[in-house]
Amino acid sequence: MRNNMAQGGGKKVLSVHAGQAQERFLEALALAQGDEELPGEWITRTRKVGQGSSATNTPLLGTALLAKATNKDVNALALQTKVHRGYSARGVAKNVLVPMCVEHEIDLRTTGAEPLNNQPFFAKPQVIKELIPESKQPARAELEYLIDCLEAADYLEGESAVLALAAFLRVRIEDGNKATVLELEAGALTLPVLSALARDFINVNREGGRRGQALVAACLDLVHPGMVYADAINDPSRKVPGDVAIEVPSEADGPVQESVLTELAKPLSAADRTVVLSAEAKQKAVTQSEILQFVERLAAAGIGKGLYVAVDPSQADLGADKLAQKAQERNGVLLEVVTDPERLLTNAVQWSALPLDQCLKSFPQLLVQRLRDFHCGKDSQQEWADMLAAATAGHDAT
* Band (349; pLDDT cuts 50, 70, 90): very high
Q: Minimal CA–CA distance to 248: which of 217, 223, 218, 273?
A: 273
CB atoms inside a 10 Å sphere around CB 397 = 6
* Band (253; pLDDT cuts 50, 70, 90): very low
pLDDT per residue over 130-178, tens digit each?
Answer: 999 999 988 999 999 999 999 999 999 999 999 999 999 998 987 775 5
pTM to 2 decimals?
0.59
* Band (215; pLDDT cuts 50, 70, 90): very high
pLDDT per residue over 87-115, tens digit each?
Answer: 999 999 999 999 999 888 898 988 788 89
For residue 240, pLDDT beyond 80: yes
